[in-house]
Copies of this chain bind each other. A is one copy, B any other.
Amino acid sequence: MAGSSGLGRRAAPSPHSARDNAPLYEHIELLFFAYRDFVGDADRLLEDYGFGRAHHRVLHFVNRHPGLTIAALLDILKITKQSLNRVLKELVAKNFVEARAGAVDRRHRQLFATEAGERLASELARVQTRRFAAAFESLGASAKEESARFLLAMIDAPERERVTRLIASGRGRSK
């Protein structure tokens, strides 16, 4: 039973061996299941609107960064403009997102969540927040900051700075 780390216990502080190559199956699988349930929350909501996960991501970041341009959004999502456009068109058609010509450079489109868009984005954030909040409540006060540090450390090192800035620059909270 080498390498067991135990799910619910306080492990003794093991002096971690210099070259421990044991696959962290536990963590790999926990992240898989956790993410699946995490996005599942939103999926159920989105169904009522005829939207998918791609719509969610676009709406989320537009709501968080009013005035975002297409190029900036593409850079966040790392998808092609064709993939983005497909879902963005639907969000605009259904009046959840509005695209205005850029104030300074009219070639740009600046994206904004409409009132309906804000409402849906908030609702989506709310169900996902609930999952985090429930976890933190069961884990203790430090879990909130610890988990943020953990998740950041799981992001590609060269991206961390960018992500940190992106998150910090987002619009604070809904209502």
Contact = CB atoms under 8 A, between A and B. Distances in A.
Interface of A: 1-11, 13-14, 16-17, 20-38, 40, 57, 60, 64, 78, 122, 125-126, 128-129, 131-156, 159, 163-164, 166-168, 170, 172-174
Contacts of A163: 29-30, 33
A142 B136 CA distance: 17
A51 B74 CA distance: 26
Given A154-B37, A167-B30, A170-B25, A139 B149 contact: yes
A35 B30 contact: no
Contacts of A128: 24, 28
Contacts of A140: 6, 8-11
Contacts of A57: 32
A112 to B, nearest CB: 17
